[in-house]
Chain A
Amino acid sequence: MSTIYALATARGKSGVAVIRVSGPDAFCELSKIVGALPKPRSSALRKVRNACGELIDFALVLTFEKGASFTGEDVVELHLHGGVATINAMLGVLSENKNLTLAQPGEFTRRALENGCLDLSQVEGLSDLIEAETEAQRKQAIKVFSGGLGDKANVWRKKLIRAMALVEATIDFADEDVPVDVTPEVTELINSVLPELQSELSGAKAAERIRDGFEVAIIGEPNVGKSTLLNCLAGRDAAITSEIAGTTRDIIEVRMDLSGIPVTFLDTAGLRATDDTVESLGVERAVSRAKNADLRVFLYIGEQNFTHISPRDDDIVLHAKADIFPNVVDGISGESQKGVSSLVQTITDTLETRVAGASSLIRARHQEALETAILMLNTALEHLCALDDKSEIVSEYLRIAVRALDSLVGRVDVEHILDEIFSSFCLGK
Chain B
Amino acid sequence: MKHFDVIVVGGGHAGTEAAHAAARMGASTALITLRGQDIGVMSCNPAIGGLGKGHLVREIDAMDGVMGRVADQAGIQFRLLNRRKGPAVQGPRAQADRNLYKKAMQLEISSQENLHLVIGEAVDLILECNAVQGVKLADGSEIRSKAVILTAGTFLRGVIHIGEEKRSGGRMGDNPSIQLAETLDRFDFSLQRLKTGTPPRLDGNTIDWRNLESQPGDEEPTMFSFLNTKPFAKQVSCGITHTNEQTHDIIRQNLNKSAMYGGRIDGIGPRYCPSIEDKVVRFSDKTSHQIFLEPEGLDVSTIYPNGISTSLPADVQADYVRSIRGLENAVITQLGYAIEYDYIDPRALSASLETVLVANLYFAGQINGTTGYEEAAAQGLVAGLNAALKTKNREQIHFSRAESYIGVMIDDLITKGVSEPYRMFTSRAEYRLSLRADNADQRLTEFGYNIGCVSNTRKSSFYRKMHDIDEVSKRLASLSLSPNEIGGFGIKVNHDGKRRNGFELLALPDVSFGSLEQIVPELTDVSKETKDQIARDSLYSNYLGRQAKDVQALKRDEAHQIPKDFNFAPIVGLSNELKSKLNQIRPETLGQAGRIDGMTPAAMTLILASLKKITASGGSND
Residues of chain A at the chain B interface (Cβ within 8 Å): 1-2, 104, 106, 110, 113-114, 116, 120, 123-124, 126-127, 130-131, 133-134, 137, 168, 171-177, 388-393, 395-396, 399-400, 413-415, 417-418, 422, 426-429
Return the CB mask of B286-309 against A: 1 if under 8 Å, else 0.
Answer: 100111100000000000001101
For residue B307, which residues in chain A have a CB less than 8 angstroms away from its CB? 428-429
A400→B309 CA distance, assembly (Å):
38
A104→B552 CA distance, assembly (Å):
17
The 4 A-B pairs of least Cβ separation, nearest first, read A426-B283, A429-B307, A422-B271, A134-B602
For residue B430, which residues in chain A have a CB less than 8 angstroms away from its CB? 399, 414
> B433, A429: Cβ atoms under 8 Å?
no
> B274, A391: Cβ atoms under 8 Å?
no
Q: Min CB distance, B55 to chain A, in Å?
A: 11
B51 to A, closest residue via Cβ:
A172
Residues of chain B at the chain A interface (Cβ within 8 Å): 50-52, 81-82, 84-86, 88-89, 93, 270-274, 279, 282-283, 286, 289-292, 306-307, 309, 416, 425-428, 430, 432-433, 543, 546, 549, 552-553, 556, 560, 572-573, 597, 601-602, 605-606, 608-609, 612-613, 616-617
Cβ contact of A126, chosen from B52, B274, B609, cutoff 8 A? B609
Among A134, A388, A400, residue most surrounded by chain B Cβ atoms (within 10 Å): A134
> A426, B274: Cβ atoms under 8 Å?
yes
> B605, A130: Cβ atoms under 8 Å?
yes
New contact pairs (20) apart from A390-B85, A396-B543, CB-CB < 8 Å: A2-B549, A104-B601, A113-B609, A120-B616, A123-B612, A123-B613, A174-B81, A389-B85, A389-B86, A390-B86, A391-B86, A392-B88, A413-B597, A417-B427, A426-B289, A427-B271, A427-B274, A428-B270, A428-B307, A429-B307
> A427, B272: Cβ atoms under 8 Å?
yes
> A391, B279: Cβ atoms under 8 Å?
no
Q: Min CB distance, A2 to chain B, in Å?
A: 6
For residue B289, which residues in chain A have a CB less than 8 angstroms away from its CB? 177, 426
> B612, A116: Cβ atoms under 8 Å?
yes
For residue A124, which residues in chain B have a CB less than 8 angstroms away from its CB? 613
> B85, A171: Cβ atoms under 8 Å?
yes
A173→B93 CA distance, assembly (Å):
13
Q: Min CB distance, A4 to chain B, in Å?
A: 12
Q: Min CB distance, A327 to chain B, in Å?
A: 57
B292 to A, closest residue via Cβ:
A429
A106→B546 CA distance, assembly (Å):
23
A174→B83 CA distance, assembly (Å):
10
Cβ contact of B51, chosen from A171, A390, A393, cutoff 8 A? A171
Interface of A is mostly: helix
B294 to A, closest residue via Cβ:
A429
Q: Min CB distance, B130 to chain A, in Å?
A: 34
Q: Min CB distance, A161 to chain B, in Å?
A: 12
A130 touching B426 in the complex, CB below 8 Å, given contacts A426-B286, A426-B289: no
Q: Min CB distance, B603 to chain A, in Å?
A: 8
A397 to B, closest residue via Cβ:
B543
A101 to B, closest residue via Cβ:
B549
A86→B430 CA distance, assembly (Å):
40
> A392, B85: Cβ atoms under 8 Å?
yes
Task: List, sorted by A's number, 26 A–B pairs whose CB atoms are closer than 8 Å.
Answer: A1-B552, A2-B553, A114-B608, A123-B616, A124-B613, A130-B573, A168-B425, A171-B51, A171-B82, A171-B426, A171-B427, A172-B52, A174-B81, A174-B85, A177-B290, A389-B85, A391-B89, A392-B89, A413-B597, A422-B272, A426-B274, A426-B286, A428-B270, A428-B273, A428-B309, A429-B306
A2 to B, closest residue via Cβ:
B549
A277→B48 CA distance, assembly (Å):
77
For residue B283, which residues in chain A have a CB less than 8 angstroms away from its CB? 426
A104 to B, closest residue via Cβ:
B601
Interface of B is mostly: mixed
B242 to A, closest residue via Cβ:
A177
For residue B613, which residues in chain A have a CB less than 8 angstroms away from its CB? 120, 123-124
Cβ contact of A428, chosen from B52, B279, B427, cutoff 8 A? B279
> B617, A120: Cβ atoms under 8 Å?
yes
Q: Min CB distance, B293 to chain A, in Å?
A: 11
For residue A176, which residues in chain B have a CB less than 8 angstroms away from its CB? 290
A130→B613 CA distance, assembly (Å):
15
Among A110, A172, A422, residue most surrounded by chain B Cβ atoms (within 10 Å): A172
> B426, A172: Cβ atoms under 8 Å?
yes
> A106, B426: Cβ atoms under 8 Å?
no
Among A131, A399, A417, A418, residue most surrounded by chain B Cβ atoms (within 10 Å): A418
A130→B339 CA distance, assembly (Å):
51
Q: Min CB distance, B314 to chain A, in Å?
A: 22
A111→B528 CA distance, assembly (Å):
47
For residue A427, which residues in chain B have a CB less than 8 angstroms away from its CB? 271-272, 274
Q: Min CB distance, A412 to chain B, in Å?
A: 12
For residue A426, which residues in chain B have a CB less than 8 angstroms away from its CB? 274, 279, 282-283, 286, 289
> A429, B608: Cβ atoms under 8 Å?
no
For residue A415, which residues in chain B have a CB less than 8 angstroms away from its CB? 416
For residue B549, which residues in chain A have a CB less than 8 angstroms away from its CB? 2
> B608, A113: Cβ atoms under 8 Å?
yes
For residue A131, which residues in chain B have a CB less than 8 angstroms away from its CB? 572-573
A177→B289 CA distance, assembly (Å):
8
For residue A126, which residues in chain B have a CB less than 8 angstroms away from its CB? 609
For residue A392, which residues in chain B have a CB less than 8 angstroms away from its CB? 85-86, 88-89, 432-433
Cβ contact of A429, chosen from B88, B290, B416, B617, cutoff 8 A? B290
B286 to A, closest residue via Cβ:
A426
For residue A177, which residues in chain B have a CB less than 8 angstroms away from its CB? 286, 289-290
For residue A413, which residues in chain B have a CB less than 8 angstroms away from its CB? 597
Cβ contact of B433, chosen from A127, A175, A396, cutoff 8 A? A396
For residue B606, which residues in chain A have a CB less than 8 angstroms away from its CB? 127, 130
B419 to A, closest residue via Cβ:
A415
A427 to B, closest residue via Cβ:
B272
A133→B272 CA distance, assembly (Å):
43
> A174, B88: Cβ atoms under 8 Å?
no
For residue A2, which residues in chain B have a CB less than 8 angstroms away from its CB? 549, 553
For residue A414, which residues in chain B have a CB less than 8 angstroms away from its CB? 425, 427-428, 430
> A130, B609: Cβ atoms under 8 Å?
yes
Q: Min CB distance, B284 to chain A, in Å?
A: 10
A114→B82 CA distance, assembly (Å):
43
A418 touching B425 in the complex, CB below 8 Å, given contacts A171-B51, A391-B85, A392-B432: yes
Q: Min CB distance, B332 to chain A, in Å?
A: 19
> B556, A113: Cβ atoms under 8 Å?
no
A116→B611 CA distance, assembly (Å):
11
For residue B306, which residues in chain A have a CB less than 8 angstroms away from its CB? 429
A366→B430 CA distance, assembly (Å):
23
Among B89, B427, B597, B602, residue most surrounded by chain A Cβ atoms (within 10 Å): B427
For residue B272, which residues in chain A have a CB less than 8 angstroms away from its CB? 173, 422, 427-428
Cβ contact of B427, chosen from A110, A114, A133, A172, cutoff 8 A? A172
A130→B601 CA distance, assembly (Å):
11
Q: Min CB distance, B134 to chain A, in Å?
A: 39
B84 to A, closest residue via Cβ:
A389
A175 touching B273 in the complex, CB below 8 Å, given contacts A113-B608, A130-B606: no
A130→B612 CA distance, assembly (Å):
14
A390→B292 CA distance, assembly (Å):
27
For residue A393, which residues in chain B have a CB less than 8 angstroms away from its CB? 86, 543
> A134, B573: Cβ atoms under 8 Å?
yes
> A172, B425: Cβ atoms under 8 Å?
yes
For residue A390, which residues in chain B have a CB less than 8 angstroms away from its CB? 85-86
A106 to B, closest residue via Cβ:
B605
A133→B606 CA distance, assembly (Å):
11
A144→B593 CA distance, assembly (Å):
27
Q: Min CB distance, B557 to chain A, in Å?
A: 10
Q: Min CB distance, B209 to chain A, in Å?
A: 18
Q: Min CB distance, A107 to chain B, in Å?
A: 10
